[in-house]
């Protein structure tokens, strides 16, 4: 780690220790549109007053066999319970106005069978854990989206619908695929689009070319423009891309990211943010053409990870949560601006069976060397392309 980054981390940690942790609330059944979210205060200037919002986004949810067994143990013999795994990031997630995850795998039928690597079929109770944590929706386009064929997609999206989670990137019907997922946060309408570089060689189901969104530049731009034309104030694009185990974004990430952020209609960018997943390790944040790109948030939920050399790699349990504050434009038709950009280092602590908010944990125990090492490694990766100069700070 460079001296410059060490100094930056020391400053950020000191600032964090003086901060206050965010609170959370939980809702009951049936899930309302904002389950687990604090109620919005009434707009000070009346119904027509524009209000900003906070966005939280996180990385791959990838339940290996060991994760499935842990959820079974946490359920104490009554199926699977993933809620405890998210309990230590729930305050952060549920405090956001809009929280998005990445569900990398598909779900099996109630009772199983369930499998981990290489063809993942996960318990549908993962969706309950995500919703309880405060997530509003997830991207569902990944290289594992077709691991269980179109039936896996249907079971996954049915489970999302059951708990009130939105989804983008895969679909059960052509009509569903054609309609972008739109959320309301603050006074903004936010479209969420999602795409994957591949499906591990599985062909798209016969007669269902719309089942999974593939990562094609022209399609992404066309979809973003259509969402904007339909009334979206902010367009978010999730991309499952990059080279596994490589901290640096690869050439495809760099070239596609540059092209997508350069695309404009009039003076307004077509895409307001890119949220990347897939590499299994934290990658950089960078502002390109005035637009934030998160090249890779790493894994949020995963078991023991082994890199291409076959070695156990702790980085596979490291990740970051992006938190961005958006403010309304000064005039109608202009761009919503990111006024605050933060990353929060997180780690899947396999011994504890929980995702850990590292700055929060280190505020409680500053001498935990394992958490300290993880936070420093994540921060170094996130800041490796100069994001601090663009205003990115470490949050808690």
List, as one string, the DSSP characters of 359-392: HHHHHH-TT-HHHHHHHHHHHHHHTTTSGGGGTE
**Scanning the structure block, which residue is given the tokens 């996130």?**
382
Q: What share of the chain is helix, strand, coil (3-state, %, to 5)?
A: 30, 25, 45
Other C-beta atoms within 10 Å of 314: how many? 16
pLDDT digits (tens, 9 = 90+) for 53-96: 999 999 999 999 999 999 999 999 899 999 999 999 999 999 99
How many angstroms separate the Cα of 196 from the Cα of each of 66, 102, 238, 353? 26, 11, 9, 28
Residue spans per domain, the chain: 50-394
pLDDT at 1: 47
Nearest to 59 by CA among 168, 138, 167, 163: 138
pLDDT at 41: 44
Under 8 Å between Cβ of 385 and 286: yes
The token duo for 143 is 């290289």
What's the whole-model pTM score?
Answer: 0.89
Whole-angstrom distance, CA of residue 147 vs CA of residue 165: 21
Under 8 Å between Cβ of 193 and 223: yes
Angle of helix 251-262 relative to helix 217-229, nearest 10 degrees?
30
Whole-angstrom distance, CA of residue 163 vs CA of residue 134: 11
pLDDT at 332: 87
The token duo for 310 is 């076959």
pLDDT at 251: 98
Is 95 strand, coil or helix?
Answer: coil
Per-residue pLDDT for the chain (396 aa), expressed as one digit of tens each?
444 444 444 444 434 433 333 332 233 333 333 333 543 444 444 456 899 999 999 999 999 999 999 999 999 989 999 999 999 999 999 999 999 999 999 999 999 999 999 999 999 999 999 999 999 999 999 999 999 999 999 999 999 999 999 999 999 999 999 999 999 999 999 999 999 999 999 999 999 999 999 999 999 999 999 999 999 999 999 999 999 999 999 999 999 999 999 999 999 999 999 999 999 999 999 999 999 999 999 999 999 999 999 999 999 999 999 999 999 999 988 999 999 999 999 999 999 999 999 999 999 999 999 999 999 999 999 999 999 999 999 999
Is 61 strand, coil or helix?
Answer: strand
Whole-angstrom distance, CA of residue 360 vs CA of residue 86: 14
The dihedral sign for the CA sequence 350, 351, 356, 362: negative
The dihedral sign for the CA sequence 19, 21, 22, 23: negative
Domain spanning 50-394: which CATH class is it, in words?
alpha beta
Whole-angstrom distance, CA of residue 390 vs CA of residue 387: 5
pLDDT at 48: 64
pLDDT at 359: 98
pLDDT at 20: 34
Is the previous residue joined to 308 through a cis bond, with omega within 30 degrees of 0? Answer: no
């Amino acid at each position: 780690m460079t001296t410059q980054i060490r100094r930056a981390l020391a400053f950020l940690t000191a600032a964090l220790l003086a901060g206050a942790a965010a609170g959370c609330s939980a809702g009951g059944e049936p899930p309302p549109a904002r389950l687990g979210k604090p109620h919005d205060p009434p707009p000070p200037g009346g119904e027509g007053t524009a209000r900003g919002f906070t966005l939280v986004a996180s990385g791959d949810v990838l339940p290996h066999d060991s994760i499935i067994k842990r959820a079974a143990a946490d359920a104490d013999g009554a199926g699977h319970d993933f809620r405890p795994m998210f309990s230590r990031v729930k305050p952060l997630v549920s405090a956001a106005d809009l929280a998005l995850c990445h569900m990398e795998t598909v779900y099996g039928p109630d009772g199983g069978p369930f499998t981990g690597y290489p063809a993942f079929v996960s318990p549908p109770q993962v969706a309950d854990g995500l919703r309880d944590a405060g997530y509003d929706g997830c991207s569902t386009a990944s290289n594992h989206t077709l691991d269980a064929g179109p039936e896996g997609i249907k079971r996954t999206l049915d489970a999302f619908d059951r708990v009130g989670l939105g989804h983008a990137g895969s679909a059960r019907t052509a009509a569903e695929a054609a309609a972008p997922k739109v959320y309301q946060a603050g006074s903004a309408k936010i479209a969420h689009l999602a795409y994957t570089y591949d499906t591990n060689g599985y062909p798209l189901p016969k007669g269902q070319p719309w089942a999974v969104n593939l990562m094609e530049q022209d399609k992404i731009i066309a979809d973003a423009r259509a969402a904007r034309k339909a009334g979206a104030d902010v367009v978010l694009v999730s991309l499952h891309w990059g080279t596994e185990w490589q901290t640096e974004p690869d050439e495809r990430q760099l070239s596609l990211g540059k092209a997508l952020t350069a695309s404009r209609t009039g003076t307004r960018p077509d895409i307001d943010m890119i949220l990347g997943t897939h590499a299994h390790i934290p990658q950089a944040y960078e502002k390109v053409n005035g637009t934030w790109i998160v090249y890779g948030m790493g894994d949020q939920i995963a078991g023991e990870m082994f890199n291409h050399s076959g070695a156990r790699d702790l980085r596979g349990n490291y990740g970051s949560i992006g938190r961005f504050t958006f403010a309304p434009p000064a005039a109608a038709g202009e761009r919503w601006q990111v006024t605050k950009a933060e990353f929060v280092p997180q780690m899947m602590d396999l011994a504890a069976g929980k995702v850990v908010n590292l700055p929060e944990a280190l505020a409680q125990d500053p001498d935990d060397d394992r958490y300290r090492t993880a936070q420093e490694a994540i921060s170094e990766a996130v800041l490796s392309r100069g994001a601090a100069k663009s205003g990115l700070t470490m949050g808690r």
